[in-house]
Amino acid sequence: MSLRGEVCVVTGAGGFLGKTLMRLLLEEERVAEIRLLDKEVKPQLLQTLEDCRGDTKLTVFEGDIRDGEFLRRSCRGASLVFHIASIIDVTNSVEDSEMYGVNVTGTQLLLEACLQENVDTLIYTSTIEVMGPNSKGDPIINGTEETVYECTLKFAYSKSKKEAEERTLQAHNEELPNGRRMATCALRPMYIYGEGCRFLLGHMGDGIRNKNVLYRMSRPDALVNPVYVGNVAVGHLQAARSLKDPQKRNVVGGKFYFVSDDTPHISYSDFNHAVMAPLGFSIQQKVIVPLPLFYLFCVLMEIVCMILQPFVRVVPPLSRQLLTMLNTTFSFSYQGAKRDLGYAPRYTWQEARKRTTEWLASQLPQEREKIGAK
């Protein structure tokens, strides 16, 4: 099913995944228009897309996703929305009200705008973290959409994404003013890496400060399966094609799908080393502090922060939940997306790693300069 002639809205267009998805839309689908919706869209972004724009119209909508009228203007006359925008935070550094306002209220207002403006298709970018892991660190190996896992979510981020995902899926089959019905689905990518990943830059900066030695925060046997940003964009494209296909619309609509690829199952820390080793980085052999002591440190930090909370808001550098996430085997299969969406990873692990390492290499001089390292 082609998306030719569609008018697409991409929320979070200026972000890591948004930029990759827009380029894919321009290169593979002759969409009539892409509306770049974000709080700020830098002029350079439009310039980077000029080489593949063709006849597609690019329109910028800058504003707050919590502004319902702004969203209605953005969606007026559109036929397809990729809702990527959200606040991502696993350190609890963002106020819960801010997180909920953007991730949940913003999603609800966008759904309402779609319903009011006859937008019949919406793909929501969720996250693997709506599954967990739970506080006990119970593992999942090659989980599927049918996997049952008991988890009380601790991160405000995870809770907000879970609620936004549920609201999106509940909106499937809602009737539009023009008599058609809306179709929605949600994609749950693994940890996304690739060109533009700010988390990788952060880890590289820490490694530079530590004399080119990456910190080990994950046990080597705590295996996860990161996914390359290009493959996540392909998954979004396949989801859109499926929802636009009358024969697949009700098969896919109202459901969520995991998006992974053939990146090897590896711990978070060892993954950082895999993409940075060619740049001269080594990695610590063991977790910097024995995990039981690490957990105790986190508990003490949380108590101190709680005591200080009436006077000043202090965010601990590490929480028990984040430490659990970094040290829990948690991997998921993309077979459900392959079966229903026709998704298949386009970029191999070798190509994805090469692209990511080359991008990190291009950022290395300025990161060293910023830190003041030789």
pLDDT tens per residue, range 325-349: 999 999 999 999 999 999 999 999 9
Q: Hey, what are 228's tokens?
A: 């390359």
Containing 348, the helix (H) or strand (E) segment is none
Q: Are residues 28 and 176 in the same domain?
A: yes
Q: Are residues 154 and 295 in the same domain?
A: no
Q: What is the pLDDT of residues 74-108, one digit of tens each?
A: 999 999 999 999 999 887 788 889 999 999 999 99
Q: Are residues 149 and 294 in the same domain?
A: no
What residues pair up with 40 in beta bridges, in sequence order? none
Q: Are residues 59 and 131 in the same domain?
A: yes
**What pLDDT does 52 receive?**
87
Q: Are residues 158 and 80 in the same domain?
A: yes
* pTM for the whole structure: 0.95
Nearest residue to 74 via CA among 173, 4, 5, 8: 8
DSSP letters for 73-99: HHHTT--EEEE------SSS-S-HHHH
Q: What is the pLDDT of residues 121-154, one digit of tens each?
A: 999 999 999 999 998 999 999 999 999 999 888 7
Active-site positions read 157
- Give the Cα separation of 228 and 359 in Å (integer): 13
Mean pLDDT of the chain: 93
Phi and psi for 91 in degrees, rounded to 5? -115, 0
Per-residue pLDDT, averaged over 166-176, amounts to 97
Q: Are residues 240 and 139 in the same domain?
A: yes
Q: What domain range is 311 assigned to? A: 288-323
- Give the Cα separation of 90 and 361 in Å (integer): 26
CATH number of domain containing 86:
3.40.50.720
Per-residue pLDDT, averaged over 161-169, amounts to 97
**What pLDDT does 273 receive?**
98
Q: How confident is the model at residue 305 (pLDDT cuts 50, 70, 90)?
A: confident
Q: Are residues 307 and 335 in the same domain?
A: no
Beta strands in 92-218 (DSSP E): 121-125, 140-143, 183-189, 192-193, 213-214
Q: Are residues 37 and 99 in the same domain?
A: yes
The answer to the question of residue 179 being in a domain is yes
**What pLDDT does 180 receive?**
94
The answer to the question of residue 143 being in a domain is yes
**What pLDDT does 341 receive?**
97
Least confident of 32-41, 262-271, 304-313: 304-313
- Give the Cα separation of 11 and 74 in Å (integer): 10
Per-residue pLDDT, averaged over 248-254, amounts to 94
Q: What torsion, rounded to 10 degrees, do the Cα atoms 308, 314, 318, 320 define? A: 40
Residue 316 has pLDDT above 80, yes or no: no
- Residue 43 neighbours by CB distance under 10 Å: 7
**What pLDDT does 373 receive?**
60
The answer to the question of residue 162 being in a domain is yes
The answer to the question of residue 116 being in a domain is yes
CA angle 208, 210, 211 (to 5 degrees): 70
The answer to the question of residue 367 being in a domain is no
The answer to the question of residue 281 being in a domain is no
Q: Are residues 30 and 153 in the same domain?
A: yes
Q: How confident is the model at residue 374 (pLDDT cuts 50, 70, 90)?
A: low
- Give the Cα separation of 86 and 288 in Å (integer): 32
Residue 23 has pLDDT above 90, yes or no: yes
Give how many domains the chain has, as a whole number.
2
Q: Are residues 306 and 335 in the same domain?
A: no
Residue 227 has pLDDT above 90, yes or no: yes
